[in-house]
Chain A
Amino acid sequence: MFPRRCHALSRSILTTVAAGALLTSCALSGGSSDDGTTTITYWSWTSGSQEIVDRFNATHDDVQVDFQLIPGGGDGGYSKMFNAVRAGKAPDIMTVEYPQLNSFITQDLIQPMTDWDVAELEDQYPEWTWQQISPTGEDVYALPRDVAPTVLFYRADLFEEYGLTPPETWDDFREAAVRVQERNPEAQLTSLGHNDGGLLASLAWQSGAEWFDTSSGEWSVETRDDNTQRMAAFWDGLINEGLVEAEPQFAEAHISDLKAGRTLTLVGAPWSAGHLSRYLPELAGTFDVAPIPQWDDEPTAGNLGGSTMALPVGSPNPDAAMVFARWASTSPDAVAAAAPASTAYPANINLQDTWAAEVSSANEWVRGMRLPEVTSAAAEEINPAWEWGPDMTESFARLTDAASARVGRERGLERALTDWGDTVIDQLRLRGYNVVD
């Protein structure tokens, strides 16, 4: 008897487990319920996402959002999205950064939003973001959420102590680096996150480079140009003369140097203020922000980060997802909700005044900084011609490899960037893309 009972027991356990699994999978897949509410899932890792979702849910009845925190894009988030879409288990809407949009389009992971009348929103966004979300020139593949014009954060108190003013040109920056070491041999003006492909790209972008170009109907990859090389040579000089250290940004050593006032500036973007405030709460009031130093007379900025919301292929509830995406990208309410958690700058031009007011009132650390005015000026100076390659997650990994291997050597970054350009061309050809010689 016992075995049979045991059998019956295990069967009933199995049934329960299976039923539970079914219920869970129903809950996960969301969809419309009886009362007419549609629940959608949203995958993101950007700070402020939870707050935006909470505000949306509080102000909407017909659509509710289930926010799921996933690993950062390059840290596994993009891989998760790839697998989910290919397995037919895509979320309803998800965060994709600008550099990766092209790879999401070429790999058939996201779908055009054209059917949801997004074209009418075009004049609300900077030209360059619209080109990056609509790289084919026809369909629109994402809605921009935030942009990240490059700016320079600096220790205003120590600058004053050392008799420095924020450098207006990169030549001034170099002089300031020398001055800092004269005044305090322990300190350095800044450190370069050589292992961050996005940072190197933003510096090249600001210098006037255009690493990728599709205007000829094929890919062209260019890192030997004068604009890239002057930027690389500049940082090689600073690093090799010991004026600036190459080190991963926001790693332990970098934080402790910032904390101790041994590193005086940070090349960053508006969102960096949020990072700084979390890592260096005790330094509130000591930092200010200035425009990024310039190469030429015409002021320019690069872009370092920012994100969009994209509709995956197989999104179960695209209509509801678009309601949320449109709201998150165009509503002042979304900006106000995110402000306490994030200092990222909204891409939507209509929201930028709201952001300026909210970011200072919501974030004590930012109060008193010139962040709103410096950011809004920088946002208009981003070179709109910059394009991203078709596989930036991989390309960034290779850029990190190239720069880590060479930085600190004679002409290290210069060579790393030219080598990297060659590697990217080889990789693209291997995958079948047409690349101009």
Chain B
Amino acid sequence: MASLTSPRTPRTPRATSGRRRSSVLLLIGPFFFLFAFTYLGPILYAFGLSLFRERFAGIGWDGPEKVFAGLDNYSRALTDTEFLTGVGRVLLYGLIYVPLLIALASVFALLLDSAVTAFRRTWQTVLFLPHIVPGLIASIVWLYLYTPGLSPVIDGLEVLGWEVDFLHGATVLFSLVNIAVWSNLGFNVVLIFVALQAIPRSTIEAARLDGAGEARIGLRVKLPQVLPAMMVATLFTIIGSLQLFTEPYILQASGNSSVSSTWTPNMLSYTAAFQSNDYHYAATVSVLVAVLAGVLSFTVTKISNRRALR
């Protein structure tokens, strides 16, 4: 404590703590400023928008009237079959995509981590490469591979006597899961792989001395120790699934698929804002998606904390 060792300095302990407080503020201030400005602000603004609506009357020649709607927009959304089926779709998509991605990422991370893997660096790069491709470009590339008449994949499958329609019906969901896994696998592998590298080697050696094989070490020794990393990966992926937009939007815009312009909640929000100029309803849908993401994140975090405590 400077004030005790040098009485000549005029600073009192209070001044020091004031200085510390201001330096703490200086350090975390930018974060809170940005957080408020780019996150809290827009959410509050969207919530504000969602409480109003523009009402037309008669034929509509007299223009819209902005009226307070209270929670009308919310009751409209919660009875809107497009919104509800959209939510159902992203949940189903998440239900397929999240476990698949985390399982695959864990397997690849374990393979990379196990000593037997040759060309580790090469594999790491190969797995990570698709993640560098922007989602938009990835979707266009896959759209090409899904389009009959253009796709060598479909031609190849036809030669084998297998006719697949990647862009219609229930298959679309799997086509989208495929794009997402392709794009995001590498990132999640790295996430889990880094955690694996941090595991004390002694635990692995102990298991090996006890006669455990590589597979058993992977499942019983390594994975339990990287559970937090897997939970983080899961959390990000769940939130990402709820935000599903780019990939189905590209399929929809191609005009070749049964994906509609309101296929996911985000697409519904986009269409409401930019096709119908109904920003109030778009905001309502966005707020509901944010709430849903919040609830899901909270649940996942709770579950993972409980596990960590056990």
A225 at the interface (CB under 8 A from B): no
Contact between B55 and A397, CB atoms less than 8 A apart:
no
Residues of B within 8 A of A79 (CB): 273-275, 277
Contact between A218 and B58, CB atoms less than 8 A apart:
yes
Contact between A106 and B276, CB atoms less than 8 A apart:
no
A181 at the interface (CB under 8 A from B): no
**Partner pick for A107 among B63, B150, B261, CB 8 A cutoff:** B63
B56 at the interface (CB under 8 A from A): yes
Which one of B56, B60, B278 has the highest number of Cβ atoms from chain A below 10 Å of its Cβ?
Answer: B60
B4 at the interface (CB under 8 A from A): no
Contact between B261 and A434, CB atoms less than 8 A apart:
no
Determine the distance from Cα of A432 to Cα of B53 in the docked complex, in whole angstroms: 10
Interface string of A98-126 (1 = CB under 8 A from B): 00001101111000000000000000000
Determine the distance from Cα of A400 to Cα of B64 in the docked complex, in whole angstroms: 26
Determine the distance from Cα of A135 to Cα of B59 in the docked complex, in whole angstroms: 11
Within 8 A of B (CB), among A178-234: 193-196, 214, 217-219
Residues of A within 8 A of B57 (CB): 432-434
Contact between A105 and B56, CB atoms less than 8 A apart:
no
Interface string of A247-287 (1 = CB under 8 A from B): 11001110000000000000000000000000000000000
Contact between B56 and A398, CB atoms less than 8 A apart:
no
Chain A residues with CB under 8 Å of chain B are 74, 76, 79, 82, 102-103, 105-108, 135-136, 193-196, 214, 217-219, 247-248, 251-253, 390-391, 393-394, 397-398, 400-401, 404-405, 427, 430-434
**Given A253-B149, A400-B261, A431-B56: A106 in contact with B275 (beta carbons within 8 A):** no
Q: How far is the CB of B139 from chain A (nearest CB, A)?
A: 16
Contact between A401 and B60, CB atoms less than 8 A apart:
no
Contact between B63 and A106, CB atoms less than 8 A apart:
yes
**Given A251-B255, A401-B261: A433 in contact with B60 (beta carbons within 8 A):** yes
Contact between A390 and B258, CB atoms less than 8 A apart:
no
Residues of B within 8 A of A390 (CB): 56, 59-60
B54 at the interface (CB under 8 A from A): yes
Determine the distance from Cα of A105 to Cα of B58 in the docked complex, in whole angstroms: 13
Contact between A394 and B276, CB atoms less than 8 A apart:
yes
Q: How far is the CB of B75 from chain A (nearest CB, A)?
A: 12
Q: List 18 A-B contacts (CB under 8 A).
A: A76-B274, A135-B61, A218-B58, A218-B59, A247-B255, A251-B254, A251-B256, A390-B60, A394-B276, A397-B261, A400-B255, A404-B257, A404-B258, A404-B259, A427-B276, A431-B54, A433-B56, A433-B60
**Partner pick for A106 among B61, B261, B271, CB 8 A cutoff:** B61
Determine the distance from Cα of A219 to Cα of B60 in the docked complex, in whole angstroms: 9
Residues of A within 8 A of B256 (CB): 247-248, 251
Residues of B within 8 A of A430 (CB): 76
17 other contacts beyond A393-B276, A433-B60, with CB at 8 A cut-off? A76-B274, A193-B255, A194-B255, A218-B59, A247-B255, A251-B256, A252-B150, A390-B59, A390-B60, A391-B276, A394-B275, A397-B271, A397-B275, A404-B255, A405-B258, A433-B58, A434-B59
The total of Cβ contacts below 8 Å across the A-B interface reads 89
Determine the distance from Cα of A251 to Cα of B61 in the docked complex, in whole angstroms: 37
Which 8 pairs of residues, A with B, have the shortest CB-CB distance?
A248-B255, A195-B255, A106-B60, A401-B260, A108-B63, A432-B55, A394-B276, A79-B274
Residues of A within 8 A of B259 (CB): 404
Within 8 A of A (CB), among B252-289: 254-262, 271, 273-278
Q: How far is the CB of B119 from chain A (nearest CB, A)?
A: 37
Contact between A214 and B56, CB atoms less than 8 A apart:
no
Closest to A105 in B: B61
Determine the distance from Cα of A135 to Cα of B275 in the docked complex, in whole angstroms: 22
Determine the distance from Cα of A91 to Cα of B277 in the docked complex, in whole angstroms: 18
Chain B residues with CB under 8 Å of chain A are 54-61, 63-64, 76, 147, 149-150, 254-262, 271, 273-278
Residues of A within 8 A of B54 (CB): 431
Closest to A196 in B: B255
Residues of A within 8 A of B56 (CB): 106, 390, 431-433
Contact between A433 and B258, CB atoms less than 8 A apart:
no
Contact between A219 and B254, CB atoms less than 8 A apart:
no
Q: How far is the CB of A94 from chain B (nearest CB, A)?
A: 15
Closest to B149 in A: A253
Q: How far is the CB of A218 from chain B (nearest CB, A)?
A: 7
Residues of A within 8 A of B59 (CB): 106, 214, 217-219, 390, 433-434
Determine the distance from Cα of A397 to Cα of B82 in the docked complex, in whole angstroms: 14
**Partner pick for A82 among B257, B260, B261, B277, CB 8 A cutoff:** B277
Determine the distance from Cα of A26 to Cα of B118 in the docked complex, in whole angstroms: 63
Contact between B150 and A106, CB atoms less than 8 A apart:
no
Residues of B within 8 A of A248 (CB): 254-256
Residues of A within 8 A of B262 (CB): 401
Q: How far is the CB of A158 from chain B (nearest CB, A)?
A: 20
Contact between A398 and B64, CB atoms less than 8 A apart:
no
Q: How far is the CB of B72 from chain A (nearest CB, A)?
A: 10
Determine the distance from Cα of A415 to Cα of B192 in the docked complex, in whole angstroms: 50
Determine the distance from Cα of A82 to Cα of B64 in the docked complex, in whole angstroms: 13
Q: How far is the CB of A73 from chain B (nearest CB, A)?
A: 11
Residues of A within 8 A of B147 (CB): 253
Which one of B59, B261, B271 has the highest number of Cβ atoms from chain A below 10 Å of its Cβ?
Answer: B59
Determine the distance from Cα of A74 to Cα of B137 in the docked complex, in whole angstroms: 22
Contact between A217 and B58, CB atoms less than 8 A apart:
yes
Residues of B within 8 A of A194 (CB): 255
Residues of B within 8 A of A135 (CB): 61
Determine the distance from Cα of A103 to Cα of B277 in the docked complex, in whole angstroms: 10
Closest to A391 in B: B276
Residues of A within 8 A of B63 (CB): 106-108
Residues of B within 8 A of A252 (CB): 150
Residues of B within 8 A of A106 (CB): 56, 59-61, 63-64
